[in-house]
Amino acid sequence: MKKLKCAVVGVGYLGKFHAEKYALLPDCELTAVVDLDEAVADRIASHLNVKSYTDYQQILGEVDAVSIVVPTTYHHKVAKDCLQAGIHVLVEKPVTVTVEEADELIALAKDKDLVLQVGHLERFNPAVLGLEKDEKPLFIESHRLSPFNPRANDVSVVLDLMIHDIDIILALVESDLVRIDASGTAVLTQGTDIANARLVFKNGCVANVTASRISMKMERKMRMFRPSSYVSVDFHNRVLTKHKTGTNEMFPGIPEIVTEESVFESGDALLEEIKHFVNCIFTNTKPLVSGEAGRRALSTAIQITQLLG
C-alpha cells in the first residue's frame, strides 16, 4: 500500500506531538512541518528528518493529509486552502471561529470527497471508548477543572476546556438542544475563566457542565445517571465506574447495587486520534469526530459564550 504523505502546520507545543505521531506510523510518511517561526520549524524538522517551511502554501499539492495546529483564528483559512488542494484535514478544536466557517469547510470536504476530522482528543480517551452506549443518559454532570496555564488564553474557558465535554455530551445524548442557561466570570484574563452551563435536550436529558482554568487542582470527571445505571468517567485517571442494580436484594424488596470498575492503562489518545484519521482516509469512512460533530460542539459553545456576555 502506498504511504500517505503527511505534514503538520503549526509545530508549537501541541503541533510537535502531531508530527512525532505521524513519524511513528508505518503507513504514513511525514514529509514536512510548517511554522511561522522558522527556528521552531527547523528544530522540529531536523529532529524528524523532514523538510521545514514557514508558509503552508508550499506544501499544497505535495502532501495527502495534514494536521492543522495553529491558533483558532487561522483554522478556516488554512483548512480551506488545504481542502481545495485535495488534502485530507485533521484540524484542532474548536474547528473554526464561527459556525458559518465550519459549514463552508464541511461542504468543501464533502464536495471534494475528503476526510475532515476535528481534534476533540477526549473522544479517544480509553475510558470514553470503553463507555457503553446501550442506554441514553437522563442527567449528566461534568467538571473539567485545571490550574491556570497562560498557553491557551486566546479563547474563553468554554472554547478551551468546556467544549471537550460539550462534544462528548452531544454524542451521548443524540437529541436537539431546547434550552441553555449559563453563568461565568473572568478572574485572571480578559475572557471567561470559570463557567457553568445547563443544557436541556428535547428528549428530557439535562446536562450540568462546569469548566475552570483557575482551579488549584486538576479534575476531569463526568457522571451520568441512566435508567438502570449510574456511570462515572474519570478522564484524567482513565477510570470508568458503573453502578447498577443486581439480582440479589440489599433490603427486602430493594435490589442490591453492583459496582464494576475498569481502570485503563495509560494510552496515547493523540496517537489513536491520528491513527483513526489515517484509517478513515484509507477506508473512505466518516471519522468519529467529523466536521459536523465539531460544528455542533462549536455552535453550542458559542451559544454558551454569548449567554455569558
In terms of pLDDT, which residue wins out, 118 or 309? 118
How many whole angstroms from its chain centre is CA 97? Answer: 15
| 133 DSSP 8-state letter | -
> Could you read off the pLDDT of 18-61 as tens digits, one per residue?
999 999 999 999 999 999 999 999 999 999 999 999 999 999 99
Strand-strand pairing, 116-119 and 88-92: parallel
Res 154 pLDDT > 70: no
Strand-strand pairing, 139-145 and 206-212: parallel
Res 1 pLDDT > 70: no
Res 117 pLDDT > 90: yes
Long-range contacts of 78-85 (CB under 8 A, 24+ apart): 78/9, 79/105, 79/116, 80/104, 80/105, 80/108, 81/56, 81/57, 82/9, 82/56, 83/108, 83/109, 83/112, 83/114, 83/116, 84/108, 84/112, 85/60, 85/61
pTM: 0.92
pLDDT at 152: 61
C-beta separation of 214 from 188 below 8 A: yes
3-state secondary structure 153-221: CCCCHHHHHHHHHHHHHHHHHCCCEEEEEEEEECCCCCCCCEEEEEEEECCCCEEEEEEECCCCCCEEE
Say whether the peptide bond before residue 126 is cis (omega within 30 degrees of 0).
no
Res 192 pLDDT > 90: no
In single-letter form, the type of residue at position 163 comes to I
Question: Which helix (DSSP H) or strand (DSSP E) does residue 274 occupy?
Answer: helix 269-283
pLDDT at 257: 87
- Residue entry with cell 485535495: 86
> Could you read off the pLDDT of 98-108 as tens digits, one per residue?
999 999 999 99
**Cα–Cα distance measured from residue 78 to residue 133, given in angstroms and rounded to the nearest whole number:** 35
- The neighbouring-strand residues paired with 258 are 244
- Maximum alpha-carbon separation in the chain: 73
SS3 12: coil
pLDDT at 239: 94
Average pLDDT score over the chain: 94
Lowest mean pLDDT among 158-162, 185-189, 223-227: 185-189
C-beta separation of 53 from 32 below 8 A: yes
> Could you read off the pLDDT of 258-287 as tens digits, one per residue?
899 999 987 899 999 999 999 999 999 999
In terms of pLDDT, which residue wins out, 189 or 139? 139
CB atoms near residue 110 (< 10 Å): 13
> Could you read off the pLDDT of 122-150 as tens digits, one per residue?
999 999 998 877 789 999 999 999 998 87
Degrees to nearest 5, angle at CA 195 with 189 and 197 = 155
How many whole angstroms from its chain centre is CA 103? Answer: 18
pLDDT at 153: 63
> Could you read off the pLDDT of 166-185 as tens digits, one per residue?
999 999 999 999 999 999 99
pLDDT band at 301 (very low <50, low <70, confident <90, very high): very high
Which domains are present in the chain?
A: 4-114 (3.40.50.720), 123-265+300-308 (3.30.360.10)
In terms of pLDDT, which residue wins out, 132 or 240? 240
